[in-house]
Structure 1
C-alpha cells in the first residue's frame, strides 16, 4: 500500500516557536492569548513560515500587542490582501488579565516574551506568552550545566536498569 504524503500545512499544532527564549530568559508564568490576524496571515501560519526570534509583547493604549513577529506574506494570495510582515498584532485577553500582566511587567521588571504560536482544537491561532526575567551569561552556563547533568543522570540510571 502506498504511503500517505505528509501535509505541509499545520492544522492543529505549533506554527512557530521561540526556542531561544528559554535559553535567554528564566520563564515564570505562562499565559495563552488570542491573536488578531487577517486571512493571508493565517494561511502563512498554517504553512509554518512564521518566526518569533525577535518578537516581544508590550502595552500600547491599554491593550497588549505582539511586536516584531515575522509572518511572511502569503505567496498565492491576491494583491488586494497584502499586509506588512512585521506589523504589530493585537493580543486578545480579558481586561483583568491585561491589567495584571502590565502591572507585573512594570513592577517586577519582567518582560512578556512570546514562546510559541499554535492552533487550538477549534482552529484559532493562539500565542503562548511567558513572564520572563533576563539571564546573565553565568546563569546561562549554569542552566546548560544543570540540563547536561540531568541528561547524563537519566542515561546512567537507564543503563543500570
Structure 2
C-alpha cells in the first residue's frame, strides 16, 4: 500500500498526460527526514534527461531543523531519478518532441522508499482547460440529479 506524500494537481490541469513512470529517488538522510515530516513541495517539479541520466528539478524539500550546517542538504538541488536504461532512453525520445515535458505528478512511499511518478505531458491550450472544467461540472450536476432522484 502506498501512502501519498505530495500530489501535483496543477500538472494534470495544465498537461495532457500520455504515459506515467515510477522512479526511485536518490536522497540524502536529512531529505528523507524532512519528507517524513511532510515538508515537501512538488508543484513546480519536472524531470530532465542529461548525459544518459534522469534528474528531478524544482522539487522543494525544506531543510531538517535539527541537523547542523555540515549535514544539511540543498533545498532545490537537482536529485537523480533511478530508472532502467531502456526507460531513460524512451523518456529522452518522448521529451525531445516539440511541446512535450516530464512533469512530476506525485511523490509517495512504497516499501519504505520514496518514489516519484513522472508523466509525459503535452501542454493544454486554454480552450482545452475550459472544456475539461465544463465536463467536470456537467458530471457533478448529473450525479447530484441522480442522487436526488434516488432519494425519493
The separation in 1 between residues aligned to 2:17 and 2:144, in whole angstroms, is 26
Report the equivalent of 1:89.
79
Residues 21-59 of structure 1: CA deviation (Å, up to 9, x unaligned): 111111111111000000010111111111111111001
Corresponding residue for residue 30 of structure 2: 40
- Which of 103, 114, 120 aligns to 1:113? It is 103
Give 2:5's match in structure 1, choosing from 12, 15, 33. 15
Q: Contact 2:17 / 2:121 at 8 angstroms: preserved in 1?
A: yes
- Corresponding residue of 2:18: 28
SS at match of 1:82: coil
| Counterpart-to-counterpart distance in 2, 1:68 and 1:140 | 24
Alignment gaps of 5+ in structure 2: none
Runs of 4+ in 1 over 2 A off after TM superposition: none
Q: 1:49 — aligned with what?
A: 39
Identify, as 1 or 2, the structure richer in strand.
Answer: 2
After superposition, give the CA deviation of every residue in 1:86-125 in whole Å (9 maximum; x if it has no partner): 00000000000000111111136411110111111x1100
Please tell me whether the aligned partners of residues 16 and 49 of structure 1 are also in contact (alpha carbons under 8 angstroms): no
Q: Which runs of no fewer than 5 residues in structure 1 stay unpaired?
A: 1-11
The alignment's TM-score, normalised by the length of structure 1, stands at: 0.88
The 5 Å alignment of 1:51-90 reads 51-90=41-80
**How many matched pairs?**
149
Which TM-score applies when normalising by structure 2? 0.93
Q: Is the 8 A contact 1:15 1:47 kept in 2?
A: no
Counterpart residue number, 1:3: none
Q: Which residue of 1 aligns with 2:130?
A: 141
Paired position in structure 2 for 1:155: 144
